[in-house]
């Protein structure tokens, strides 16, 4: 990770197909295309890859989340249970659809704790967004069971977990809808792009329409199509889809390389006393985009990240101090600051985000270090990294 490490002739060929036709728009212009439909091809190949009935490619992972919420009928005043450890886009999508984020604790998977979700449910709760953070899975079977018991919609944010699975089933396919991101630093990149996947034909129809101003896409002449619903413009271009299509065909090679590199580092660190690893419910299904481990306390984690960087071990994150991925630094959310009033501002009983307390999550994230796994490490680079990590981490356990 990320896929841009492996740009090559495959991506160039797909992009040139588009440029040679002059058709950058994903819809229409049939006669000019020479049979090239990159977005449609990407959607079909992703469906086959993860064994899902429907896929709609859109402009970003954020667009996918917003579209999935709308397609599942989640909107004004609905409460949506979310984790405090995710990219802020998950929360922005909920707010921008008019719904209310309700935070629940994470467990040692660094994803939603199934045992805490029920305590957050109220009569207004409509959905749960399970985020498969840093490439590995939540206890998604148990989360789905909670949702089924309480009649809640399950949406999976698998934006960081393309290629991962749980018990042989692809992440993103357990809920009513799943979302993926193909931004510049994802395993498969389109430059910018995202996807909504579902086995529900109504959810797919809604997503397909919502992401293109409500167009029903039923006719060969775009100007004569109907618009059954209001929507927005979350369309992906054929150029972006072309890059992603070539990348998607490399996914198995990418995952295998990541797993090899992650296993080598993990095996070299597992005998360090006092160091423990993130819980991964199904190791065989891990996409291996990150290796995440815990040190004894917050101070050790903070110092170790600094020392690792000083020793040339790049790509290590202490998310407790990160501005974008953990609630502790989300000052804009806590104060509900935005460029213009949002629907949540109209609610007299809106949550007090400034005073949320999530002690279990704090205790985990404050001790965790997540290291990005790269594709292009050579054997020599990997060996040097392992040696440096062993020397640094033994100081703090």
Q: For the segment 35-69, what is each residue's pLDDT rounded down to a tens digit? A: 999 999 999 999 999 999 999 999 999 999 999 99
> How confident is the model over 280-285, as a mean pLDDT?
98
Mean pLDDT of 10-30: 97
pLDDT in tens, 129-175: 999 999 999 999 999 999 999 999 999 999 999 999 999 999 999 99
Residues 289 and 183 in one domain: no
pLDDT of residue 175: 98
| 274 in the same domain as 186 | no
- Give 303-329 pLDDT, tens digit per residue: 999 999 999 999 999 999 999 999 999
* Contact call for residues 102 and 80 (beta carbons, < 8 A): yes
Task: Answer whether residue 3 shows pLDDT above 90.
Answer: no
Residue 395 is predicted with a pLDDT of 95
Statement to judge: residues 83 and 207 lie in one domain? yes
Of 251, 278, 293, which residue constitutes the final position of a domain? 251
One domain for residues 164 and 270 = no
Mean pLDDT confidence for 113-124: 98
What is the average per-residue pLDDT within 189-202? 98
pTM (two decimals): 0.97
247 and 290 in a single domain? The answer is: no
**Closest of 130, 84, 74, 77 to residue 104, by C-alpha:** 84
Same domain, 247 and 257: no
Q: Is the pLDDT of residue 266 over 70?
A: yes
Catalytic machinery residues: 186
Q: How many domains does the chain have?
A: 2
| pLDDT computed for residue 4 by the predictor | 86
In the beta sheet, which residues pair with residue 181?
194
Whether residues 147 and 11 share a domain: the answer is: yes
Which residue would you say has higher pLDDT here, 221 or 47? 47
Domain boundary among 251, 274, 294: 251
Cβ 228 vs Cβ 214: under 8 Å? yes
pLDDT value of position 246: 98
Residues 9 and 91 in one domain: yes
Q: Same domain for 183 and 275?
A: no
Which pLDDT does position 1 carry in this prediction? 62
Both structure tokens of 73: 């009928």
Residue with tokens 């199904």: 282
Per-residue pLDDT, 212:
98
Q: Report phi then psi at 339, rounded to 5.
A: -70, -25
Identify the pLDDT of residue 2: 76
Are 244 and 268 part of one and the same domain? no
CA 224 – CA 49 distance, rounded (Å):
34
């Amino acid at each position: 990770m990320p896929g841009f490490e492996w740009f090559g002739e495959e991506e160039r060929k797909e992009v040139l197909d588009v440029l040679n036709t002059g058709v950058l728009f994903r819809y229409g212009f049939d006669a000019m295309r020479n049979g090239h439909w990159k977005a449609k091809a990407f959607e079909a190949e992703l469906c086959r890859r993860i064994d899902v009935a429907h896929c709609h490619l859109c402009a970003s992972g954020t667009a996918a989340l917003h579209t999935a919420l709308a397609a599942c009928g989640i909107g004004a005043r609905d409460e949506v249970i979310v984790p405090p450890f995710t990219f802020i886009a998950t929360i922005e999508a909920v707010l921008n659809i008019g719904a209310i984020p309700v935070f629940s604790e994470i467990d040692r998977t660094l994803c939603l704790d199934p045992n805490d979700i029920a305590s957050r449910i109220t009569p207004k709760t409509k959905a749960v967004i399970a985020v498969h953070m840093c490439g590995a899975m939540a206890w998604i079977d148990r989360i789905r069971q909670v949702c089924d018991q309480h009649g809640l919609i399950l949406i999976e944010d698998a934006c960081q977990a393309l290629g991962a699975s749980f018990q042989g089933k692809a992440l993103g396919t357990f809920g009513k809808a799943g979302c993926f991101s193909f931004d510049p630093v994802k395993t498969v990149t389109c430059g910018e792009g995202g996807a909504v996947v579902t086995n529900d034909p109504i959810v797919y129809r809604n997503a397909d329409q919502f992401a293109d101003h409500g167009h029903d896409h039923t006719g060969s002449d775009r100007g004569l199509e109907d618009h059954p619903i209001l929507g927005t413009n979350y369309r992906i271009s054929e150029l972006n889809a072309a890059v992603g299509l070539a990348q998607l065909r490399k996914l198995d090679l990418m995952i295998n390389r990541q797993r090899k590199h992650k296993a080598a580092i993990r095996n070299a660190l597992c005998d360090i006393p006092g160091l423990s690893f993130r819980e991964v419910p199904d190791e065989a299904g891990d996409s291996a985009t990150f290796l995440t481990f815990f040190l004894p306390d917050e101070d050790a984690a903070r110092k170790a990240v600094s020392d690792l960087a000083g020793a040339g071990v790049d790509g290590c994150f202490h998310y407790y101090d990160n501005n974008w991925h953990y609630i502790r630094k989300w000052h804009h959310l806590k104060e509900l600051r935005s460029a213009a009033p949002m629907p949540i501002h109209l609610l007299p009983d809106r949550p007090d985000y400034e005073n949320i307390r999530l002690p279990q999550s704090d205790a985990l994230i404050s001790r965790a270090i997540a290291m990005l796994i790269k594709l292009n490490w050579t054997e020599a680079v990997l060996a040097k990294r392992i040696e440096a990590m062993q020397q640094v981490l033994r100081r703090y356990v």
